[in-house]
Structure 1
Amino acid sequence: MRNMTLAHVAQVVDGQLVTPAGTEALKNTEIQGAVNDNRKVEKDFLFIPMVGARVDGHDFIEDAFSKGALASLSERELDNPTGPYIIVKDTKLALKQIATDYRMQLSIPVIGIIGSVGKTSTKEMLASVLGTKYEVLKTEGNFNNEIGLPLTICRIKDEHQVAVVEMGISDFGEMHRLGDIAKPDYVVMTNIGQCHLEFLKTRDGILQAKTEVFEHMNKNGAVILNGDDDKLINADTLGIRRIFYGLNGQEVSASDVTAEGMTGTRAVINAFGDTFEANIPLPGTHNVMNALAATAMGKELGLTDDEIKRGLEKASTIAGRNNVIEVRDITIIDDCYNANPVSMKASIEVLGKAPGRSIAVLGDMGELGEDERQLHYEIGQALEDNHIGYVFTVGELSEEINKSLSQKNSSCMAHHYADVEAMLEDLLPIIRGGDTILVKASHFMNFSTVVEAIKTRFE
């Protein structure tokens, strides 16, 4: 990390640099990265211990030194440390201060990915597109909060030419703090959906919270907006240039969209007057929208149509994010990392287009506020509309899905369970060759165990 010497870091965090005997000269050495997990320490990294509910990172400072850490932060004096450390009041705050200072030294474009649904998938697709021309740093997994974002900024190296960072919030003010760290040159906004309603209350509240980022943007940059979203089409970007994408005649749009089952979707992409066909290797209309966002950003950064096409056609997703897994002749749609009403309905639509029998394994969606039961109840209509054959629900709130189907006298074979173990006892024996199984719930439901159980049974 250029210019980030220990002496400079100590100044940035308003901390006291302590150099045990023999380490005084290290104060002018640059750190090569910063991590809060001692297992990820590399040579000359800065270790940032954090105090959690169950684990105190300070207990692993010496392990970090043994793995090559140049120095550590600490909220207290250390006994006989084997390396330099910087005493600070709050290591989490210090991490943000370090990332903010480092960001100010960077000259590469930083692209922030924001929205209620599709941030991670859009981030992966955009990185794939930009990777055909540039060396890209992207957020790992879902590191998009007030710890994950600064850690991502600290991963940017001299060889990187563009950074794609995911920015996730759940309350007012958070985007101000994230925006102040990332100071994005560009922002891609996927949509304003029904999530984090527990704190943000309404879609207008969500819009207000997410658009806090505009106050921290490069005023000469651009905002890439989903023009099919009724809230974003009129979003006030504080004078920053707007570019719209969507299926309804936006500056970047798609036509002749053809579903290819679980293998993906074919579409003709129309971008600022240029046209090309792409085979997007991810199923669902929502992934066409992600491709349009990536196309708009690719155009903005000077990519050719051929480079954009190649990037779209090699795009992939990550575990738990609409990830299609083939186990013998069974297809699993692993979408169990997170869930809200918009993403739940989109995944059910994908399942409805699958060949063979369709099975939906659904769990509770979190942070939906006072309307949480009604929002779960409405999922039943999506299952009915998409002619899903079997529905297995788990959790107190998901019982509303089952109730909805029962009251509609639905043709869906619906079953509800209090826990995953009981559900699996009934689910696993009925699965047969040719089935497609959607597994989706909010992360706290731990539905990754469902995916693993199915894989283990049939591998």
Structure 2
Amino acid sequence: MKTAIIHERFLVSTGISTDTRNIKPGSIFFALKGTSFNGNEFATEAIAKGAICAVVDHKEAALNNKEYILVKNTLEALQSLAKFHRKFLGIPIIGITGSNGKTTTKELIHRVLSRKYTVTATLGNLNNHIGVPLSILAMDGETEIGLIEMGANHPGEIEFLANIALPDYGFITNFGKAHLEGFGSLDGVIQAKTELYRHLKENKKLIFLNLDDDVQRLEMNYKHNFSFGSNRKAQVKIDYPDTTDSAELIFNETNFKSQLSGSYNAKNMAAALCIGLYFKVPFNEIKEAIETYKPSNNRSQVIERNSNKIYLDAYNANPTSMMAALQHFQNLKTDNDKIVILGDMGELGPSSETEHQVIVNFLENADISEVYLVGKQFGKTTTNKPNIIKFDNTETIKNHIYLAELKNCSILIKGSRAMALEKIMEVFEPTT
């Protein structure tokens, strides 16, 4: 009952606010709680700053007037409101998850579909139990298609998010060794990520499949599917040429060349192409949208600095994505010296020591001039190769790079978010 009441207020509001430091006048303030904050304490401030009402879950925070709505749990109220709003809109929603490439794939799909439709997509990587509801509540009457990214680091979380977003379509980018601390194993990752497909199948909705993926091929017998890949049974037949720099693909005798580094990104491009074709976006518009997409936020970027070519992929890392980046980088054809800068991979639990050593073992036999390993986990690995050098933290590697005055090098930078390896870019002078 209260969800319907809140929704009526929401429809005449300017949106949702959860932080009084950047409150939107005319918005609804949700007093969310965290380990170090309690939004109920800021409800009065939110009203004073222009919120039309505050949703609270502490009686003492709910003054006896229409500007305050008391609920049992503000987070659950936010999630219920999002689900209610999703049903109210009645628009097609595409859900996206996977171990690697979720955000890049979402951005590519967003750009492709936006050539024909008004699309509202997850902003950045707001893909959790708070971000997904906020993404849905950002959709309005103008939105024709919703695009929701779903993240997880424990079993059951994708299913939970799917029950809020109620997607009509879904795609899983891949299955890799990410968040092993929460999933336990690669099989645990697969079971968790395929919660999206199971949800869609139970509701007789459509799934997009990459038939070059061993796990996704198992879903071929489900009749509501639309597939792509180099597999001859794919409905959208893709060829992946050997590339030395940016990701490319060939479809219908037409070459698509992106601004994304890494051949592994070609599968993300293919997913956007496939979904664009399914939604009948004109072919030339799909091609232009993919080819003009320029990555940002430390994801698959190629940056020229001071005669160096830097492959910056420092937003996050896990064993699967790091190995893919290394294999691509090793195969680059260049006269430059190749330098690899790697930061620790997080959330690997008991597998951490083994997975970091696997990376080092690969590097010992790789055609790389110098390797710089950053962090405590890489510090525990063993190697007798003189070209593999360890650093305690990002500041120490920054100082080393600054003093080295690197010139005419190809440099790969990759690590988990906590390592913040993008700070290394501060020592490279911008190309004029």
Asked whether the two chains share a fold, i.e. TM above 0.5, the reply is yes
More displaced stretch, 358-367 vs 40-49: 40-49
Deviation of 1:198 after TM superposition, in Å, equals: 1.7
More displaced stretch, 56-65 vs 295-304: 56-65
Give the structure 1 partner of residue 172 of structure 2. 189
Deviation of 1:432 after TM superposition, in Å, equals: 2.2
Matching residue's letter, 1:184: P
Q: 8 Å contact 2:394–2:420 — kept in the other structure?
A: no
- RMSD of aligned residue pairs (Cα, Å): 2.8
Matching residue's letter, 1:233: R
Give the structure 1 partner of residue 420 of structure 2. 446
Asked if residue 42 in structure 1 is aligned to residue 24 in structure 2, the reply is yes
Matching residue's letter, 2:261: P
- SS of the residue 1:306 aligns to: helix
What's the % identity of the aligned pairs?
31
**Which of the residues 4, 9, 24 maps onto 2:3?**
9
1:246-277, Cα deviation, whole Å (9 max, x unpaired)? 3444333432625253xx234312xxxx4432
Deviation of 1:100 after TM superposition, in Å, equals: 1.0
Deviation of 1:396 after TM superposition, in Å, equals: 2.1
Asked if residue 304 in structure 1 is aligned to residue 282 in structure 2, the reply is yes
Deviation of 1:146 after TM superposition, in Å, equals: 0.6
Give the structure 2 partner of residue 163 of structure 1. 146
Change in Cα spacing, 1:335 to 1:369, as seen in structure 2 (3 Å) is: same
**Which of the residues 122, 131, 142 maps onto 1:148?**
131
Q: 8 Å contact 1:227–1:246 — kept in the other structure?
A: yes
Change in Cα spacing, 1:354 to 1:167, as seen in structure 2 (3 Å) is: farther
Change in Cα spacing, 1:40 to 1:81, as seen in structure 2 (3 Å) is: farther
Deviation of 1:206 after TM superposition, in Å, equals: 1.5
1:150-204, Cα deviation, whole Å (9 max, x unpaired)? 1111101211211111101111111121010011111111111111222222222
**Which of the residues 411, 422, 427 maps onto 1:437?**
411
1:351-410, Cα deviation, whole Å (9 max, x unpaired)? 332742222221111222322211111112443565222211122221355x24x3xx4x
Matching residue's letter, 2:130: I
Change in Cα spacing, 1:295 to 1:74, as seen in structure 2 (3 Å) is: same
Change in Cα spacing, 1:111 to 1:79, as seen in structure 2 (3 Å) is: closer
Give the structure 2 partner of residue 120 of structure 1. 103
Change in Cα spacing, 1:104 to 1:63, as seen in structure 2 (3 Å) is: same
Q: Whole-Å Cα distance in 2 between the matches of residues 29 and 189 of structure 1?
A: 32
Unmatched 5+ residue regions in structure 2? none
Asked if residue 395 in structure 1 is aligned to residue 384 in structure 2, the reply is no
Q: 8 Å contact 2:261–2:301 — kept in the other structure?
A: no
Q: Whole-Å Cα distance in 1 between the matches of residues 217 and 192 of structure 2?
A: 16
Unmatched 5+ residue regions in structure 1? 1-6, 14-25
Asked if residue 413 in structure 1 is aligned to residue 387 in structure 2, the reply is yes
Change in Cα spacing, 1:155 to 1:419, as seen in structure 2 (3 Å) is: same
Q: Whole-Å Cα distance in 1 between the matches of residues 133 and 208 of structure 2?
A: 23
Q: Whole-Å Cα distance in 2 between the matches of residues 386 and 71 of structure 1?
A: 60
Change in Cα spacing, 1:243 to 1:217, as seen in structure 2 (3 Å) is: same
- SS of the residue 1:259 aligns to: coil
Q: 8 Å contact 2:249–2:270 — kept in the other structure?
A: no
Matching residue's letter, 2:214: D
Q: What is the correspondence of 1:60-71 to structure 2 with a 5 Å cutoff? A: 60-71=42-53
Q: Whole-Å Cα distance in 1 between the matches of residues 296 and 198 of structure 2?
A: 31
Matching residue's letter, 1:429: L
More displaced stretch, 208-217 vs 293-302: 208-217
- SS of the residue 1:117 aligns to: coil
1:121-158, Cα deviation, whole Å (9 max, x unpaired)? 11111111111111111111111111111111110121
More displaced stretch, 163-172 vs 53-62: 53-62
Q: 8 Å contact 1:129–1:311 — kept in the other structure?
A: yes
More displaced stretch, 280-289 vs 242-251: 242-251
1:33-63, Cα deviation, whole Å (9 max, x unpaired)? 2232334433322111222223333344344
Give the structure 2 partner of residue 90 of structure 1. 73
Q: What is the correspondence of 1:13-412 to structure 2 with a 5 Å cutoff? A: 30-76=12-58, 77-78=60-61, 84-217=67-200, 219-235=203-219, 239=222, 241-249=224-232, 250-255=234-239, 257-259=241-243, 261=245, 264-269=246-251, 274-352=252-330, 353=332, 355=334, 356-384=336-364, 386-399=366-379, 403-404=382-383, 406=384, 409=385
Deviation of 1:220 after TM superposition, in Å, equals: 4.8
- SS of the residue 1:286 aligns to: helix
Change in Cα spacing, 1:332 to 1:454, as seen in structure 2 (3 Å) is: farther
More displaced stretch, 330-339 vs 123-132: 330-339
Change in Cα spacing, 1:446 to 1:329, as seen in structure 2 (3 Å) is: same
Give the structure 2 partner of residue 17 of structure 1. none
Q: Whole-Å Cα distance in 1 between the matches of residues 22 and 309 of structure 2?
A: 34
The count of corresponding residues between Structure 1 and Structure 2 is: 427
- SS of the residue 1:228 aligns to: coil
Q: Whole-Å Cα distance in 1 between the matches of residues 34 and 197 of structure 2?
A: 32
Deviation of 1:305 after TM superposition, in Å, equals: 1.6
Q: 8 Å contact 1:321–1:337 — kept in the other structure?
A: yes
More displaced stretch, 112-121 vs 44-53: 44-53
Matching residue's letter, 1:193: G
Deviation of 1:236 after TM superposition, in Å, equals: 8.0
Q: 8 Å contact 2:62–2:68 — kept in the other structure?
A: no
Change in Cα spacing, 1:364 to 1:173, as seen in structure 2 (3 Å) is: same
Q: Whole-Å Cα distance in 2 between the matches of residues 258 and 107 of structure 1?
A: 43
Q: 8 Å contact 1:284–1:349 — kept in the other structure?
A: no
More displaced stretch, 45-54 vs 430-439: 430-439
Q: Whole-Å Cα distance in 1 between the matches of residues 66 and 431 of structure 2?
A: 50
- SS of the residue 1:302 aligns to: coil
Q: With the length of structure 1 as denominator, give the TM-score of the two structures.
A: 0.84
More displaced stretch, 366-375 vs 94-103: 366-375
**Which of the residues 422, 437, 442 maps onto 2:396?**
422
- SS of the residue 1:292 aligns to: helix
